[in-house]
Structure formats: C-alpha cells, structure tokens
Structure 1
Amino acid sequence: MTEPASIPAGFRPVAIGGPFLAHNGPLYARLAGEGVQLGFRVEARHTNPLNICHGGMLATFADMLLPCVILYEPGHERRFLPTISLQVDYLAQAALGAWVQGEGQVLRRTRSMVFAQGVVSADGQAAMRVSGIFKLGNLIGDGAEGDPLRLRAAA
C-alpha cells in the first residue's frame, strides 16, 4: 500500500471511479491553478511481468484523468461523462515505485460532447499522451458542484 510520505506535496487521496478504482487505486489529486492534477504511485499490484506499470492501469488512469480535468474546467455544470473514445500513446515506461502524474485541458465542447487531451508523466518524464471524447451525460446532483473531489476544502 502507498505510504502517505511518498506522495508529493499537495496531493490528497480521492474517491473516484467507483469500486473498480477503489480496488485498483488509490488515486490522488491536487489543484493546479484553475485545474486539477491526478496521480498515483506504481505499486507491485499495478505491474506486469516486467515489473513496470501495466498499460491497462495507465489507460484506466487516463480514463479518470480527463473527466476530472473536464469537471474542474470553470463555468460548466457537473455531469456524468461516459467515455466515447480514448486514445492512448505510450511514450515511456512507469517503473515500480514511480510517481505517475497527469494533467490536461479541454479542447472543445459541443452540446453533447467534450474533447480533452493530457500528458501523463512517470517521475517527471513524459510516459503517455492521451486524448478523449466524452458524452455530456446526466447532471450529477444539481450540476453546480464546482469542487467534486473536495480539493478546495482541504487546501
């Protein structure tokens, strides 16, 4: 299990992604200006037989990163964001023990979809380039929650 002392300053554990990520996490987040960064420490259970982070774990991380980026974009309602398309380009490995961190940006919104992209690093080196298209689903609550990961309250 990840030791709290091994998590970079400002990152807090977050509960996102339901039971699947509760089992495969933990994930951490912190505010970065108006946006959000997401991260995790590569543990043995995240690795493949070569002792590097499994591509499926990295893809799962990307599939959580981009919706979090979208949710923290100022001025928009909070909605469920089902993935329509997720493009992942693996650039480098994330070794056992590496800190994996991602950030991104919203490229475009339409009435029914959001396009976003991001970069994921492992110990500061670019490890993945990601892009995705997400459906603007049902409102979550009244849609007004501007801090769904409760990061501002913890800062």
Structure 2
Amino acid sequence: MSDIPSGFTPHARKSPVTDPWQPLYARTDQGVYELGFMLDTCHCNGRGLLHGGVIAALADNAMGLSLGMARLSRGEAKEGRPQAVSGIVTTSLHVDYVDIAQIGQWISIVPRVVTASRRTGLIDALIYADDTLIARANATFKVLISET
C-alpha cells in the first residue's frame, strides 16, 4: 500500500518521543483514536523491519488517547468540573508480536476501549501492516484527577 487510507489526517498531538517517527497520521473512528504511518527506515531495527519498541510506544499513545476520547464523550474530562483530569498515565502495557512489517507498508493501530471508569481504563489494540495483523497490545491506565 502506498497511499494514506481515507479519513487519516496529520496527527496533531506532538511529543518529543514521537518526533523522530513523523509523519504520523490519525483518525477518530467509532470513538477511538487510530494512529497510522507509512513504515520507513526511522521506524526500523537493524534488519530493516518495524522495531517492536516503535509498536509499543505508538500503541501506548493511541490507547491513551482513546481513553481520553471515551472520557470526553461521557463529559467526564471537561474543564470547569469540580474534578478535572490532569493526565492519563500508563500503569501496565503488554504487547504480543505475531508477524513482521517491512518498509513501505501502512501501519495502523486500532484501539478498543474495554472499560473506562472514573480513575482507570483498560484498552486493547490491534496493530496491522497493510491488512496483516502484526501485533496486539493491552494496557491499563490511571486517570490523574486534580481537585479544583
């Protein structure tokens, strides 16, 4: 695949950890925040294959953003509430790697919100190279609440 799939736009959230992997793309679909990118050398290990650390970091990013979206859609993270969310942090992350990806393939990370409570969230994700499943991830997040 050489084209960016429909609905993906440049990823607006910038971070020092993701800067080396730009350009990244995102789309919101069915209440989750999907990330995608065209696999290039900056994402690869010494064998020219997608590095597992890139998968883990970007899956963590997509899953955390999806939890934030779930909270916003329920009206829980709005400013001005007595308890505002000051952040969402990962407390556990697990990735199973099941296949490889090569330069030129479109990588997509598709999260699913399993549960989102007031203070925690459980999210999983499937990671694809074009249409081939290459990894699955799951994470637990802590929602940081600031008392205002």
Q: So what's the TM-score if we normalise by structure 2? A: 0.82
d(CA) in 1 for partners of 2:33, 2:42: 26
The alpha-carbon deviation at position 14 of structure 1 amounts to: 1.2
The alpha-carbon deviation at position 138 of structure 1 amounts to: 4.3
Alignment of 1:26-37 (within 5 A): 26-37=23-34
The alpha-carbon deviation at position 105 of structure 1 amounts to: 1.6
The one of 59, 62, 65 equivalent to 2:62 is 65
d(CA) in 1 for partners of 2:33, 2:139: 17
Q: How many residues align?
A: 136
Q: So what's the TM-score if we normalise by structure 1? A: 0.78
The alpha-carbon deviation at position 33 of structure 1 amounts to: 3.0
The alpha-carbon deviation at position 70 of structure 1 amounts to: 1.1
d(CA) in 2 for partners of 1:96, 1:90: 17
The alpha-carbon deviation at position 94 of structure 1 amounts to: 1.4
- Match in the other structure for 1:150: none
d(CA) in 1 for partners of 2:65, 2:55: 15
The SS at the match of 2:144 is coil
Structure 1 residue 120 and structure 2 residue 120: aligned? no
The SS at the match of 2:45 is coil
Gaps of 5+ in 2: 79-84
d(CA) in 2 for partners of 1:69, 1:106: 7
Structure 1 residue 56 and structure 2 residue 63: aligned? no
- Match in the other structure for 2:100: 93
Comparing 108-117 with 86-95, which one deviates more in the overlay?
108-117
Structure 1 stretches of 4+ with a deviation exceeding 3 A read: none
Structure 1 residue 7 and structure 2 residue 4: aligned? yes
Query: What do residues 19-51 of structure 1 show as CA deviations (whole Å, max 9, x unaligned)?
Result: 221222322111213333211111111111111
How much is the aligned-residue C-alpha RMSD, in angstroms? 2.1
More strand by share: 2
